Amino acid sequence: MNTTASTIFFGEDGFTVLDQYLSNNEPSKTFVLVDENTSICIPAFAQKLTALEADFEILEIPSGEDSKSLDLVNQLWLTLLEHGADRNALLINLGGGVVGDIGGFVASTYKRGIPFIQVPTSLLAMVDASVGGKTGINIGGLKNQVGPFSQPDMVVVDASFLGSLPEEEWASGHGEMIKHALLTGTDWPEVLSWTAKDDLQEEIKRSVAMKASVVESDFKESGLRKILNLGHTFGHAWESLMHSKGNGISHGRAVIQGLHVALVLSQQQGLQAELAKRYPWANVSTEDFEVLWHHQLADKKNENGEVQFVLLERLGAPTFGNPVSIETWSAALLWLNQSADAR
């Protein structure tokens, strides 16, 4: 089943549809995957579903990117096997992006694929990770290098889960919403003023709808879908570098850093200056340029050995497949460092 706007549901309506799904499909066994942070969501989640079997199994993993490993995937496969999960079993991923990524990977590979449902609990997962059918684990210190495209049967987005979200996790999701605003021109620059205290249900719906429409037109990322990687070429490299130094940062924060780079490479310094007022550029040591470039060379969207960026011709007008040389890229980072120092 393709995840399109018709299979993404919001709020209480979403749980009504999920309850109907459970009644109609009668999974042989239901598993709910959480991490230690989202396990507290289980009582409220279960209370919303009358058709959820009382004896559903809870699978809990450690939070954070380190969980996206083959070792942990193997543990989850074995746990499913030990609990008698067959091809009619159901896996519900209740959590943030890591839970969705690893849960989708496990479900799409166990017994060649069992159904799974995404119930994101973080802003980042709501507007990004749960929509689009990408699953993945990390290898060699690089993000999401292994994993299939595999669509959930349903995505349920309920903003009520955001009430207990830490500020830094909210900012992570905000980074992806800023990216969507740059891609479409919608909500710019208003998006930069949004805070965790705002009621953003309609804004979340618009952000989800934007990504879903792009994914629907290009599921396997052969063309247009590549625009969704705005800020990600450098962002993933920055995230990997910080993680290797023990200074782990959220995905959305890394994307924001990547947006700065993409905007300068696009010669959109005005947009970059607006972004910097809310989220300043974090200076990059020249000693790290080489390893960052090496990480970018491993980006899955590259072709012919070239590092390719998504750039903006102007606000709301993205282009993809733009090769960038190490000289041009290095000059952009130096400009950003100098500009930040001058502020």
Every domain of the chain and the residues it spans: 5-165, 169-199+219-342
Look at residue 2 in the predicted model and tell me its pLDDT. 47
- Do the Cβ atoms of 241 and 308 come closer than 8 Å? no
pLDDT at 301: 82
Fold of 5-165: Rossmann fold (3.40.50)
SS3 content of the chain, % helix, strand, coil (to 5): 55, 15, 30
Complete DSSP assignment for 39-51: GGGHHHHHHT-TT
pLDDT, position 96: 93
Q: Hey, is 173 helix, strand or coil?
A: helix
Task: Kindly state which CATH superfamily the domain 169-199+219-342 is placed in.
Answer: Dehydroquinate synthase-like - alpha domain (1.20.1090.10)
AA identity, residue 170: W
d(CA 99, CA 120): 9
Q: Would you write out the chain's pLDDT as a tens digit for each of its 343 residues? A: 445 444 899 999 999 999 999 999 999 999 999 999 999 999 999 999 999 988 899 999 999 889 999 999 999 999 999 999 999 999 999 999 999 999 999 999 999 999 999 999 999 999 988 888 889 999 988 888 999 999 999 999 999 899 878 888 999 999 999 999 999 999 999 999 999 889 899 999 999 999 988 988 888 888 889 999 999 999 999 999 999 999 888 999 999 999 999 999 999 999 999 999 999 999 999 999 999 999 999 988 888 889 999 999 999 999 999 999 999 999 999 999 999 999 7
What pTM was estimated for this model as a whole? 0.88
* DSSP secondary structure letter of residue 218: -
Scanning the structure block, which residue is given the tokens 């959305």?
A: 252
Contact by Cβ (8 Å): 152, 133: yes
